Structure 1
Amino acid sequence: MSNYIDFQWRVTKYNPEFRDENGYYTLREEWTCPSEMGKTINGNEFTLNEYLQVEAAYIDSVIKFIEETSIDSLRILQLECTISEEDKTSPLYEKEFETMVLKEDALVNKNDIRLICKMVLRNFIWCQLYSKNNFFVHFGWDYYMYIGSKVNCLSAIEFASNNGLFVEQCASPYYFSEEDTTRQLQWSEIDDESKVIVGEEELKNVPLNEYQRIFNLTQEHPVIGSFHLKKEQMDFFQTFLKHKMNFDKYEYSFWGGY
């Protein structure tokens, strides 16, 4: 994420008229998660149809921003995918989700992006979508979405607004530059089922392309997020560490972020 993406927006269902001077949303009742379906909110039952209408507005708006930026695909970043058997009993779970082959750094087209956005918004997976120096989609808590583009997407903004969403100029709290990125190694004891981190050490002066090589990532990937370390990667990382690595005693992971 080396070059700053100039145009960034917060795209949500939350009317900014109800934000206080610090930007906090103050309306008394508002659903923030699809799991609240069936609850009474503002005197009305939050229904599946209401949810699906809002979800469609989010996803269709993402596609409009992508199209106006003149890109055809995005990469998956920081993928977290732990769909449980209980998740599969949800009315929001679709068999089509099982056709998606989700992988960190995978390049996905607009049809796949639609499905991925749906899975994220329904809390079945989490990830970011990214095109280096061109575009991003970040999903936050409470049904917040942030979009960034190299283009001032006026038509997409109009589309989102016409479909009941509110688009505000706002830097994404999940966006940071390569210069702001911290990377470190963390370790926990093998026999500890809770995986409590017992040590960590910051990695310094490691070229980005070396990280990309050791984790088998493309040059597009900014090497953020968490990666499990394998024993065969020990020699590479030991070069940059004071800690003496011991795979017989510890499990190691890499973390990069802000």
Structure 2
Amino acid sequence: MYYWQVRKYPPLQKESQYKSKILTWTSIIDIGNIYNGQPLTAEEYLSVENKYVKAMHIYMNYMKVTDMEVYLIHKLKEELFIEHTLKYPECYSDEIINFYYSLKDKDNLSIREVDLISRLALREDIVCQLRHQDQFFLNHSYDYYMDIGSSIVCEAAIYEIKKLGLYIDLWDHPYEDNVWDNSLQ
């Protein structure tokens, strides 16, 4: 399996030993905070979130993925989830709220449900991993990172994801966070 990290942040410079801190937002809870002299709006947040969902779709389409299984690791405490839905109502439709409450470990998700679960994961409302057989893998982690695993390298998908304005880099070390790989050991 090949693994890529997708993010809105530029990559570490090859000659640099450390990554300088970039003052940018990393979570839905940053809506309203000031970045580069401007408040982060829900519209801006959703615009970037939509790029991540589109990036996921691009790779899934090339891989002909039509459904995914969820490994649900954790749901945010209900009180905090409700707080998010009230504080950021433009980000939480009835559909996504109902999906949050119905979601269970080992569910087999349609493409539309993969959209919803990805949005919940990017918003840090849930922690989960998704897979399609042994061919495709998704993991959304903290600070707005998304990891894609694929049984093949698809240069066309990578190129299209970069055209969205996102960064995508192949992991250059073993990827140890795939819960399905680890469960086989």
Q: Name the TM-score, length of structure 1 as normaliser.
A: 0.62
How do residues 151-170 of structure 1 correspond to structure 2 at under 5 angstroms? 151-170=152-171
Matched, 1:90 2:84: no
Question: What fraction of aligned residue pairs are identical, expressed as a percent?
Answer: 26
Q: CA deviation at 1:76?
A: 0.5
For residue 79 of structure 1, give the secondary structure of its aligned residue in structure 2. Answer: strand
- Unaligned stretches of 5+ residues in structure 1: 182-221, 224-257
TM-score normalized by structure 2? 0.84
Aligned length: 176
**Higher alpha-carbon Rg:** 1
Shift in CA distance, 42/59, structure 1 to aligned 2, threshold 3 Å = same
Q: 1:164 to 1:173 in 2, by over 3 A?
A: farther
Change (3 A) 1:151 1:104: same
CA-based RMSD of the aligned residues comes to 2.3
Cα distance in 1 for partners of 2:143, 2:125 equals 14
SS where residue 86 of structure 1 aligns?
helix
Q: Give 3-state SS (helix, strand or coil) of 2:51's partner.
A: helix
> Aligned residue for 1:67?
61
SS state of the match for residue 92, structure 2?
coil
| Number of the residue aligned with 1:110 | 111
Say whether residues 1:132 and 2:142 are aligned partners.
no
Distance of 1:111 and 1:19 partners within structure 2:
38
Q: Give the Å deviation of 1:17.
A: 5.0
Distance 1:146 1:152, change over 3 A: same
1:194-232 deviation per Cα after TM superposition (whole angstroms, max 9, x unaligned): xxxxxxxxxxxxxxxxxxxxxxxxxxxx48xxxxxxxxx
* 4+ residue runs over 4 A deviation: 17-20
User: Which one scores higher on RCO, CA 8 angstroms, separation ≥ 6?
Assistant: 2
1:226-245 mapped onto 2 (5 Å cutoff): none
Return 5+ residue gaps in structure 2 as ranges.
none
Q: Does the Cα contact within 8 Å between 2:122 and 2:141 map onto a contact in 1?
A: no
Q: Displacement of 1:97 after TM fit? A: 1.7
Query: Which residue of structure 2 lines up, in the alignment, with residue 54 of structure 1?
Result: 48
Aligned partner of 2:98 in structure 1 is 99
Question: Which residue identity lines up with residue 143 of structure 1 in the other structure?
Answer: Y
Q: Encode CA deviations 1:153-200: one digit per residue, 9 max, x unaligned.
A: 22221221111100111154513675xx4xxxxxxxxxxxxxxxxxxx
Q: Which one is further off, 162-171 or 86-95?
A: 86-95
CA change 1:83–1:65 in 2 (3 A) is farther
